Structure 1
């Protein structure tokens, strides 16, 4: 909880600084759009967080997002080369494909004892290739389909904008489900146990393989849900959509307190981490400094080409911070153990026997 409070304070300070720099940061349009972006990131960051808590990693989630959107466009769009099926057919089939990706990767990791990094890296490239083949290297458009309202509309309309975009409603449901699973179910306790000490979890009778497969299925499912939202938001899909999104998800989870060692993290932290990542992304475009140059008022803005430099630096800082915290905690445990050992009563020592006189 201390880490969540600290990151919440960082988020508030960031928002305050950006608002002072540019009052438009808290304008209705920017707030609604940023909330939408936070929600869509948070949906699949929740799945990534579950995988990280169990001690794994899912590098394919960005490709799953792209595959879901491409399949949905292929199945339900009325454009050239698309099949034109109703959305109630396209959405379930696209989500089923996402779930199958997670199931396949989970089985490869558990049955063949392969490293999650290698399996999901291969899955990332393979799924990206499938998306490219389905889209035939081009772009599939939804045109003016009512489906576009899913991401671009919402509840409580004020001034033409929906104050509560539908992706926020979906994210709230995913967040509530993730919090319930992690903190109120046996499966959640098993996830923490698996990430904390895999061997101990196995010896305690936990079906480690089943738990691990479930986390990858859930991760891909959240990627599929996010893919549907992104397809609606963008309005057209290609194999490029979703590229690099796995890095945002990892960064959001780590910033929110999910240790890459496993066994740590929570739903609230993932929410905060997702918000920080999208506020940074938005802040790169919104931040400005007004100054006077020879009586001429000028505005200095951040170079958008620095986006990945800043985000990469944030990820490194988060990982370094996580490592430092673990080192300090380990030192404290060692010191307390030494103090407890020194304070413990010594065993009774028999007095020496008198020598023969």
Structure 2
């Protein structure tokens, strides 16, 4: 007697992409709009061209690797190494392609073509994701421990390469310009400044590809199935270990892409670039509706979550309140930037609490519906 495994149908493993399941994303988008309007009301410069260009650039760079980590979280895993991969990718790019300095060989690069540096950096990022995925799936190690160890190890590798200093990417030539122009240039120039920078264009491509992969392919249905019920997914014949490994490769690969964008934006790469970036990515994913228990979340939600994180970050600097003191003089009160991590940490906690509240509400709703059907039957 042979046992046949049921292949999950599109109906059985349909991802949360229908209208009703986008209510959380709609709520977060409304919150984003209210937040932007409040900041614009307090400081009209918030909607100034320079601030919009810089904020959208920051949203794009965060969103690229936040989407990557979302793949992992939807399966029920976690990847704490993405921030270190962002930093290592930039460091490798700088070391490979920055001009060689005979006077200070240790402080310069190898002078190789830019495409070689990018290929090596992205290749290393993908191999890191593959190695971590295999350790987690083949040896049944905890994702938290594996990626935490990877985070520290990769940061140490970056520090070893830069020898505690920094490497410049500003002088890497690209055609008639420099690699630094990847961050500064773009499309739709107004007043000599692009409204859409190249990192934003890269982000849009990543969003479209990720949305198609996660929401409209068999692989995406497998990702949701594993996060929803791992054992049921295994019994259904889904190659769970292979799919999980691929999500870590995707996460590391997109962190590598973000690392190249950050290298162009920062201009000077050190081991400090990428520190705590994984926390921003996780917060962006959770704010966008990706459940830390797995099985829930959309690419659109991650985009909105990334926007909220960067608008909050920018708003801490831009927010101001004009008032008159006792002598009648005009004064302006601003938020203390030392409170940045306090505010962002509070946002993360609120997001996690809301995620749990929604989960409990959905569980109670399912229980009531099951009881009603039982009584009717």
Q: How far, CA to CA, are the matches of 1:70 and 1:81 in structure 2?
A: 11
Shift of 1:337: 1.5
Shift of 1:217: 0.3
Instruction: Look up the SS of the partner of 1:282 in the other structure.
Output: helix
What pairs up with 1:202-241 in 2 under 5 angstroms? 202-241=234-273
Q: Where does structure 2 lack aligned partners over 5 or more consecutive residues?
A: 1-21, 102-106, 173-177
Q: How far, CA to CA, are the matches of 2:50 and 2:313 in structure 1?
A: 16
Q: Choose which of 146, 150, 174 in structure 1 pairs with 2:206.
A: 174
Query: Is residue 142 of structure 1 aligned with residue 142 of structure 2?
Result: no
Q: How far, CA to CA, are the matches of 2:65 and 2:118 in structure 1?
A: 17
What pairs up with 1:186-197 in 2 under 5 angstroms? 186-197=218-229
Q: Choose which of 134, 139, 162 in structure 2 pairs with 1:107.
A: 134
Query: Is residue 51 of structure 1 aligned with residue 84 of structure 2?
Result: no
Instruction: Look up the SS of the partner of 1:243 in the other structure.
Output: coil
Q: Choose which of 81, 85, 107 in structure 1 pairs with 2:108.
A: 81
Q: Out of 138-147 and 97-106, give the one that drifted further.
A: 138-147
Q: How far, CA to CA, are the matches of 1:340 and 1:190 in structure 2?
A: 29
Rg (Cα) greater in structure = 1
Q: Aligned residue for 1:332? A: 365
Shift of 1:74: 0.3
Q: How far, CA to CA, are the matches of 1:208 and 1:92 in structure 2?
A: 29
Query: Is residue 66 of structure 1 aligned with residue 98 of structure 2?
Result: no
Runs (4+) off by over 2 Å = none
Shift of 1:143: 3.4
Q: How far, CA to CA, are the matches of 2:245 and 2:254 in structure 1?
A: 14
Q: How far, CA to CA, are the matches of 1:322 and 1:166 in structure 2?
A: 33
CA deviation map 1:168-227 (0-9, x unaligned)? 000000000110001111100000000000000000000001000000000000000000
Q: Where does structure 1 lack aligned partners over 5 or more consecutive residues?
A: 345-357
Query: Is residue 122 of structure 1 aligned with residue 149 of structure 2?
Result: yes
Shift of 1:109: 0.1
Q: Choose which of 276, 279, 302 in structure 2 pairs with 1:244.
A: 276
Aligned length: 344
Q: How far, CA to CA, are the matches of 2:314 and 2:53 in structure 1?
A: 12
* Superposition RMSD in Å: 0.8
Q: Aligned residue for 1:312? A: 345
Instruction: Look up the SS of the partner of 2:322 in the other structure.
Output: strand
Shift of 1:9: 0.3
Query: Is residue 33 of structure 1 aligned with residue 54 of structure 2?
Result: yes
Q: Out of 36-45 and 134-143, give the one that drifted further.
A: 134-143
Instruction: Look up the SS of the partner of 1:226 in the other structure.
Output: helix
Q: How far, CA to CA, are the matches of 1:142 and 1:44 in structure 2?
A: 21
Shift of 1:81: 3.2
Q: How far, CA to CA, are the matches of 1:35 and 1:188 in structure 2?
A: 27
Shift of 1:127: 0.5
The TM-score with structure 1 as length reference comes to: 0.95
Shift of 1:15: 0.3
Q: How far, CA to CA, are the matches of 2:193 and 2:318 in structure 1?
A: 20
